[in-house]
Amino acid sequence: MTIPSRRTFAIISHPDAGKTTLTEKLLLAGGAIHLAGEVKARGANRRARSDWMKIEQQRGISVTSSVMTFERPDADGNVITFNLLDTPGHEDFSEDTYRTLTAVDSAVMVIDAAKGIEPQTRKLFEVCRLRSVPIITFINKVDREGRDPFALLDEVADALALDVCPMSWPVGMGGAFEGIFDFATNRLMQPSGPSKEFQGTVHQLDGLDDATLEQHLSKDGLAQLREEAELARGGYASFDLQAYLHGDLTPVYFGSALKNFGVGELIAALSAYAPSPRAQPAEPAPIDPGNDEVTGFIFKVQANMDPQHRDRIAFMRLCSGKFRRGMKLTPSGSGKPIAVHSPILFFAQDREIADEAFPGDIIGIPNHGTLRVGDTLSEKAGVRFTGLPNFAPEILRRITLKDPTKTKQLRKALDDLSEEGVIQVFYPEIGSQWIIGVVGQLQLDVLISRLEAEYKVGAALEPAPFETARWLSGEGRMLEDFAGVNRSSMAKDRDGNPVFLARSAWDVGYQSERHPEIKFSATRER
């Protein structure tokens, strides 16, 4: 099967670094957001669109901008479809954010030039590293006063233990900003007019020694560019595609999302270097995108917040084969085939029923709770994708009932919601107070409101004496011995796996050092 060109990626950043602004600029650069062949299918599409609106109205589902698709031609004029997956940041930070990164082939890391690497960037980066997801770095806001570019590059290299390769260079920053020089193309992009906005002033040069540079830059600016560029190119790794694809090197672009600087170069880099859909880890063997059989996995479920309905949209990343509307797929969870009649494709502001989709694409599948995060969907039901992890919670809370007669309903609700991936639930060996684990505060708010709205269960959360959790694995007897001694810290997860509830990060380190025969895992594959 020939697979159309896809770049399925996410933007990782700390809040305020400029992810939203960059996303907008990328979509804008993608122009009117169309899928190949859409013009031809316009009539059919209009119908499809209204189908979708009916679904949305009837079920009150609001699918926010979880996936955004746009197209751009590459350097040879071939159309490439970009699927940009949103990774909610800030208070929205949750397991969803992590899992979304399991569905991408590469990532763009946005860094604020004045702030450098911030905590959330680092966290998300670690998840990318777990899966060797290649990263392109975009140092944003060069139109404002920022840190010295060398200091920024060194920080990325040191903090993330990555080789960095500057692909472009800012001529000054903030008030002294005169433009950006792109090393690959020897082009100088300059602001035009007082707004310092990039409006298409591009000078094609022969290199940094090109005499015409004097016409475009101030004397100081030119001297600075020549000196810094030489140092930069001598002092850092040169671009190595394989090292980038392995996640060992990050090409770095400077730019300003707000002023539209460097956005074109970023898209060009994604087109030229970012990987197409790759083989995905699965059992019994990895699945190649070129396989004829349609396979995919669910990485996110967005539930309806409307208490009248239990409908939800499952987001499937297609891993192989050509998907066609109406086709039957079997989820690994329930094992019962479902016909996918209304698969949804996501555009910038729009969604449409997908008639077909290809590896790397994300489709939304409306369902009544049959599809769960981590499910594999396939035509023949013989495969299972691996590596979609549960992450050790960073916030643990005890859950208490307002009405103690509702224990059964609470357990059912917690099992449902943990299957959906909203929370994790741990049942301690001693005592009857269940522990809720999340990685972001927002998940707790969602839990309480959904318990009330959907399950009519009033509950409250209290501090728990634990800070984090680890899944335990090891030989049966060893585990039993450990559990015997540490009973007050032992719990079971929803699937009955043994979990160690740790009072502190130190506790985890201490116990794992004392018990080398037991593995303390911060992630568990679903």
CA 139 to chain centre: 19
CB contact at 8 A, 516 and 507: no
- Residue 134 CB, shortest distance to ligand G4P, in Å, is 21
Q: Applying CB under 6 A, which of residues 21, 190, 367, 468 lies at the interface with ligand G4P?
A: 21
Please tell me the distance from the alpha carbon of residue 212 to that of residue 217, in angstroms, as a whole number: 9
Residue number with CB closer to ligand G4P (13 or 390): 13
Neighbours of 108 (CB within 10 A): 25
Distances (CA, A) of 424 to 64, 394, 413: 23, 11, 12
| Residue 20 makes contact with ligand G4P by CB under 6 A | yes
97 contacts ligand G4P (rule: CB under 6 A): no
Nearer to ligand G4P, 13 or 304 (CB): 13
Pick between residue 254 and residue 466 the one whose CB is nearest to ligand G4P. 254
- Give min distance, CB of 36 to ligand G4P, in A: 29
Residues 109-168 that bind ligand G4P (CB under 6 A): 140-141, 143-144
Closer residue to ligand G4P in complex, CB, 70/500? 70
Helix axes 19-29, 263-272, angle to 10 degrees: 70
- Least separation in angstroms between CB 163 and ligand G4P: 25
The reply on whether position 15 binds ligand G4P by CB under 6 A is yes
Type of residue at 466: F
Separation between Cα atoms, residue 223 and residue 295, nearest integer Å = 55
C-alpha span between 61 and 311 (Å, rounded): 8
CB-CB neighbours of 328 under 10 Å: 11
- Closer to ligand G4P by Cβ: residue 17 or 459: 17
Residues 239-268 that bind ligand G4P (CB under 6 A): 256-259
Taking the complex as a whole, the smallest distance from the CB of residue 18 to ligand G4P amounts, in Å, to 3
Q: Record the tokens describing residue 83, joined without a space.
A: 């699927």
SS3 state of residue 267: helix
CA distance linking residue 84 with residue 67, whole number of Å: 6
In the complex, the smallest distance separating the C-beta of residue 19 from ligand G4P, rounded to whole angstroms, is 3
Cβ 181 to ligand G4P, closest distance in Å? Answer: 18
**DSSP characters for 413-456?**
HHHHHHHHTS-EEEEESSSS--EEEESSHHHHHHHHHHHHHHH-
Minimum CB separation of residue 141 from ligand G4P in Å reads 4
End-to-end CA separation in angstroms for the chain: 30
**Count of residues in contact with ligand G4P, rule CB under 6 A:** 16
How many other C-beta atoms are found inside a 10 Å radius of the C-beta of residue 20?
A: 17
- Interacting residue with ligand G4P among 8, 10, 18, 124 (CB under 6 A): 18
Which residue's CB is nearer to ligand G4P, number 263 or number 340? 263
| 13 belongs to the binding site for ligand G4P (CB under 6 A) | yes
DSSP string, 383-421: -EE---EEE--SEEEEEEESSGGGHHHHHHHHHHHHHHT
Q: Is 307 one of the binding residues for ligand G4P (CB under 6 A)?
A: no
Choose between 259 and 524: whose C-beta lies nearer to ligand G4P.
259
Q: Determine contact, residues 181/168, Cβ cutoff 8 Å.
A: yes
User: Is 89 annotated as contributing to ligand binding?
Assistant: yes
Binding-site members are: 13-20, 86-90, 140-143
Binding-site members for GTP are: 13-20, 86-90, 140-143
Q: Rule CB under 6 A: which residues touch ligand G4P? A: 13, 15-21, 140-141, 143-144, 256-259
